[in-house]
Amino acid sequence: MFAPHIRPFPTTASADGSPQLLFFPHSGSSAGSYRGLAGRLADTARPACVQYPGRAERRSSPPFTDGQRRSDDQLAQAFAAWHEGGPVVLFGHSLGAVVAYEVVRRTADQRRLVLVASGHPAPSRLGLPSIVPPGDGTGDPDQPLVDLLRSLGDDSGLLDHPVLRGFFLPVIRGDLAAHGRYRPEPGGTVACPVVALMGNADPLTDPADVLGWEQHTTATFRMHTFHGGHFFTNERAGEVADVLRALCARAAS
């Protein structure tokens, strides 16, 4: 049973001929954050989104602070139950890119999959000792994390509401801690096409690190660069949807 790990979105696409499209959210995010992008593709694919632990209907589940390998295994099992055997495009942004990559690596038959790695360096190019700078011991201990999120262009509005911020910051802190501990298997590859996306003003990626994804697939590789920062997926949602629409159409043919 894949619920509650995977939440489907409403769709107008044909269940018989349309590929499945699965979103893997960025740090601190939930499945609901991808409702807009999924809506743009509802006539092309059958979209769904992974719901990470510690938020929404899974808020009582332990967050991503420990046991990353176990979490990847559980998600891979949920994906296997959800996957119908036809074409699937897996889209992961930031943290979601490596979670999606690990799910694909754990999938036995990858022939009809496409991995879209967005806003993240290749696993072989990681350098994440600490994404969040430490505080100076005075003032608000959350301020370094808040400053980081604002510098990346967070537009969720949660940082401006004290109560919501109190729920949100522990979740994203746990996600970032798990992200910082991620250690990919050396030389790991997938057997499906990989498409890498990046923003040209993203402080967390550069072209060389994103191009490194080519070394992690034995199939084809393609890269797209968009105008925008780390959250170019929001700034250029229509353009990102166009890329995903083309990939879905190609996967279904």
User: In this predicted model, what pLDDT tens digit does every residue of 5-55 receive, in sequence order?
Assistant: 899 999 998 877 899 999 999 877 778 889 999 999 999 999 999 988 756
Length reported for the chain: 253
As given in the structure block, the two tokens for residue 148 are: 């980081």
Residue 129 pLDDT exceeds 50: no
At 143, phi and psi to the nearest 5? Answer: -60, -40
CA of residue 2 relative to chain centroid, distance: 18
> In sequence order, what DSSP letters do the residues of 50-95 get, joined into one string?
E--TTSGGGTTS--TTS-HHHHHHHHHHHHHHH--SS-EEEEEETH
| 196-210 tens-digit pLDDT | 999 999 988 999 999
Asked if residues 117 and 190 have their Cβ atoms less than 8 Å apart, the reply is no
Which of 66-75, 107-116, 204-213 has the least mean pLDDT?
A: 66-75
10-24, 43-57, 149-163, 232-246, range with the lowest pLDDT: 149-163
Query: Please, what's the b/e burial string for 75-102 (b: 16 or more CB within 10 A of its CB; e: otherwise)?
Result: bbebbeebbeeebbbbbbbbbbbbbbbb
Cα separation, 35 vs 37, whole angstroms: 6
Q: How many CB atoms lie within 10 A of CB 108?
A: 6
Whether 248 and 19 have beta carbons less than 8 Å apart is answered as yes
Cβ atoms of 163 and 111 closer than 8 Å: no
Q: What are phi and psi of 185, to 5 degrees?
A: -65, 125
Q: Is the dihedral of CA 130, 133, 135, 136 positive or negative?
A: positive
Asked if 166 and 140 touch (Cβ cutoff 8 Å), the reply is no
Centroid of chain to Cα 145: 20
Give the SS3 label for residue 127: coil
Q: Whole-number mean pLDDT of the chain? A: 83
Give the span between the Cα atoms of 138 and 17, in whole angstroms: 58
Which helix or strand (DSSP H or E) is residue 117 part of?
strand 113-118
pTM of the model: 0.84
Does residue 119 surpass a pLDDT of 70? Answer: yes
Question: Residue type at 52?
Answer: Y
Element (H, E) at 221: strand 221-226
